[in-house]
A and B are shown apart, each in its own frame.
Chain A
Amino acid sequence: MNRALIAILAAIVLLPLVVRPAIASEIWIFAIFGLGVNLLLGYTGLLSFGQGTFFGSAAYVAGWLLKHYAINVFFALGIGVGVGALSALVVGYLCVQRSGLYFIMLTFALNQLFYFVAYQWTSVTGGEDGMPGIPRPAILGIDFGNPVAYYVFVSVLFLASLWIMRRIVESPLGKILQAIRENEVRAEAVGYDTARFKLAAFVIGGAFSGLAGVLYAMLFGIVPLEAIGFVTSGNVVFATLIGGSGSLYGPVIGSFVFIWLSESVSTLWARWPLLLGVAFVIVVLFFRGGVVEAWSRFAAWRERKWRSSKQTG
């Protein structure tokens, strides 16, 4: 087990001692979301600014079924993953032909489209008011209404997601995606149908986003309209960049930093988005590569100092 994994396991155990279980759950849920986004952003080089589409759609559909048809938890999770993947298939199919700014704008526009449809379809989604009353059905006698029990559930799913994502990025598929990121033309020249692989990345990312969406709906008992909005889409991208898109664990760290800070700072100062904006600017100007890179830079600096002191000493 490498060090990062140990750190994560420690964090899972210690986190609920420091913050409320609900916030802790939110952090891991957002981390699952970020893992999906980073497959696109960090590994394939695709900046999708519309991941809220899949997160929100999964939340609404699964939430609807949970609320009106009392489906069980595993079915809900399956629905979430399925809806996330399916909506990503549709959106991805429409988007992967484009690149650069066009790609970003198209994902943004489609996200807005889904958002306004959700906004208008008040009979189903509740529109501006959101879809409240989402239950957390019990399984095997475990009452997930207990925030700690739900936290454990979420943590387990997070670990599973992390493991799956690790297998994906280390697989041949992962290597091809990274090759596409490095030089798409060359990848094409070598014979890969890059559009198909990009679509695959999209669908997988969508599946992860969908899983996060269902867990989110069950966590808060409500699917708010903003879950499918561009703010959610933006937040997950920003959190991933802050953590560091160049690493598997970047989105996890980013989720930590983003959610923890926004929850704690927002109770102190109503104008906290100002600080968030400043943080973004600082990250871009000085800490590109995010926390992960900053940490490795720091570690390398420490290593150098130690070595040079050994030489002089």
Chain B
Amino acid sequence: MSAFLGQVLNGIATGMLYALMGLGLSLVTGVLNIPNFAHGALFAIGAYLLASAANLMGNFWLALVIAPLGAALLGLAIEYLGIRRLYAAGHDYQLLFTFGLALILSEAIILVWGPVGYSHLPPPILRGGVDLGFTFYPKYRLFVMVAAGLLVLGTWLFLEKTRYGAIMRAGIENKEMVSLLGIDVHKLFTAAFALGAYLAGIAGALTAPIRGLSPGMGVDMLGIAFVVVALGGLGNLLGAIAAGLLIGVAQAIVAAHWTEASSVVIYAVMAAVLLVRPQGLFGIR
């Protein structure tokens, strides 16, 4: 039983990260209606910025604040200079563009930081683990679980309880209405993309001490983010959170019993759900 609880705990910890990634991507695809293949690269940039900032300033916490802001700024620039022109262009060109960006960003990472993977240790107070009774668990992972959870909560509160958030949600539902109400849809899109980039960036920054850094680290995360969004429903933010946790836990439990299937299971579940409910588990058609 304790083994099972340990797996569930681990599943929730990784699931929180997945939820964070999925939330950002869901926001972007929901508001902007584009296939954003650069989301994974923004994740990687967040991680690398964290490592560099932490090494430069000698302070992990400061770096944790700065790194995702860097990713958000990058997102802002990308939307303003590029994606903005493509809303009418059709999914194929949006895809080509964001994919091109992903290539540019990951190659840029190699040029700046080199192709070797790096390790970045958690800050000293978060090293080692704690005995929780049913399992021994790394302190840093507990921290990430809590931090990601707070971020997810914070994002959800922003979207539900603030005016700006309401505008964004309205943008997901009905862009025309939003612009008819006199709101600048362009600014809405830019803000949404920047927020999505921020979430990807901070997910990356949090992950860096766990997974280490490598230029291709964004690619796997991108696939997972897509699964989360598809399961949760495009633009359905609560759905993305639930789907992220679901996938994390499912993966952890499957890995314990049939390790080889842990990569397949995510996509199998996604395919199965989408066939029955194309809008995802929680989406509304």
Same assembly: yes
Question: Which residues of A approach B to under 8 Å, CB–CB?
Answer: 41, 47, 49, 94, 97-98, 100-102, 104-106, 108-110, 112-113, 116-117, 119-120, 234, 237-238, 241, 245, 271, 273-274, 276-281, 283-285, 288
CB-based contact A116/B267 at 8 Å? yes
A113 surroundings in chain B (CB, below 8 A): 264, 267-268, 271
Question: Can you list 29 A-B contacts with CB-CB less than 8 angstroms, sorted by A residue number?
Answer: A47-B95, A49-B95, A98-B278, A100-B33, A102-B234, A102-B274, A104-B91, A105-B35, A108-B226, A109-B271, A112-B223, A113-B264, A113-B268, A113-B271, A116-B263, A120-B260, A120-B261, A237-B92, A238-B96, A241-B92, A273-B106, A274-B107, A276-B100, A277-B107, A281-B82, A281-B100, A284-B89, A284-B93, A285-B97
How far does the alpha carbon of A271 sit from the alpha carbon of B114 in the complex, in Å?
Answer: 11
A284-B97 contact given A47-B91, A109-B270, A241-B92, CB 8 Å threshold: yes
The CB with the most chain A CB atoms within 10 A, among B95, B96, B275, is that of B96
Q: Beyond A101-B33, A116-B263, A277-B103: 19 further Cβ-contacts under 8 Å?
A: A94-B271, A100-B91, A102-B278, A102-B279, A105-B35, A105-B274, A109-B226, A113-B267, A113-B271, A119-B263, A234-B99, A237-B92, A241-B92, A241-B96, A245-B92, A277-B104, A280-B99, A281-B97, A285-B82
A271-B96 contact given A113-B268, A284-B89, CB 8 Å threshold: no
Query: What 1/0 mask marks residues of chain B from 15 to 55 whose CB sits below 8 Å from any chain A CB?
Result: 00000000000000100011100000000000000000000
Contact of A106 among B104, B229, B271 (CB under 8 A): B271
Q: Please give me the residue from chain A that is nearest to B83 by CB atom.
A: A284
CB-based contact A273/B103 at 8 Å? yes
Q: Please give me the residue from chain A that is nearest to B92 by CB atom.
A: A47
Question: Which residues of B approach A to under 8 Å, CB–CB?
Answer: 29, 33-35, 82, 85-86, 89, 91-93, 95-97, 99-104, 106-108, 110-111, 223, 226-227, 229-230, 234, 260-261, 263-264, 267-268, 270-271, 274-275, 278-279
CB-based contact A284/B86 at 8 Å? yes
Shortest CB–CB separation between residue A254 and chain B, in angstroms?
Answer: 11
How far does the alpha carbon of A297 sit from the alpha carbon of B3 in the complex, in Å?
Answer: 66
A97 surroundings in chain B (CB, below 8 A): 278
CB-based contact A288/B89 at 8 Å? yes
CB-based contact A271/B110 at 8 Å? yes
How far does the alpha carbon of A278 sit from the alpha carbon of B99 in the complex, in Å?
Answer: 10
B34 surroundings in chain A (CB, below 8 A): 101
A105 surroundings in chain B (CB, below 8 A): 35, 226, 229-230, 274
A116 surroundings in chain B (CB, below 8 A): 263-264, 267
CB-based contact A280/B29 at 8 Å? no
How far does the alpha carbon of A56 sit from the alpha carbon of B110 in the complex, in Å?
Answer: 30
B108 surroundings in chain A (CB, below 8 A): 274
How far does the alpha carbon of A297 sit from the alpha carbon of B193 in the complex, in Å?
Answer: 33
Shortest CB–CB separation between residue B135 and chain A, in angstroms?
Answer: 28
CB-based contact B33/A284 at 8 Å? no
Contact of B91 among A98, A101, A112, A280 (CB under 8 A): A101
A271-B91 contact given A112-B267, A120-B264, CB 8 Å threshold: no
A41 surroundings in chain B (CB, below 8 A): 92
The CB with the most chain A CB atoms within 10 A, among B85, B92, B104, is that of B92
Q: Please give me the residue from chain A that is nearest to B33 by CB atom.
A: A101
A271 surroundings in chain B (CB, below 8 A): 107, 110-111
CB-based contact A109/B104 at 8 Å? no
CB-based contact B102/A277 at 8 Å? yes
Q: Please give me the residue from chain A that is nearest to B111 by CB atom.
A: A271
How far does the alpha carbon of A280 sit from the alpha carbon of B107 in the complex, in Å?
Answer: 14
Shortest CB–CB separation between residue A108 and chain B, in angstroms?
Answer: 7
B96 surroundings in chain A (CB, below 8 A): 237-238, 241, 280, 283-284
The CB with the most chain A CB atoms within 10 A, among B35, B110, B268, B271, is that of B271
Shortest CB–CB separation between residue B107 and chain A, in angstroms?
Answer: 4
How far does the alpha carbon of A187 sit from the alpha carbon of B107 in the complex, in Å?
Answer: 44
Contact of B85 among A98, A100, A101, A285 (CB under 8 A): A285
CB-based contact A94/B275 at 8 Å? yes
For the complex of A and B, the 5 pairs showing the least CB-CB separation, nearest first, are A280-B100, A277-B103, A274-B107, A277-B104, A116-B264
How far does the alpha carbon of A276 sit from the alpha carbon of B278 in the complex, in Å?
Answer: 34
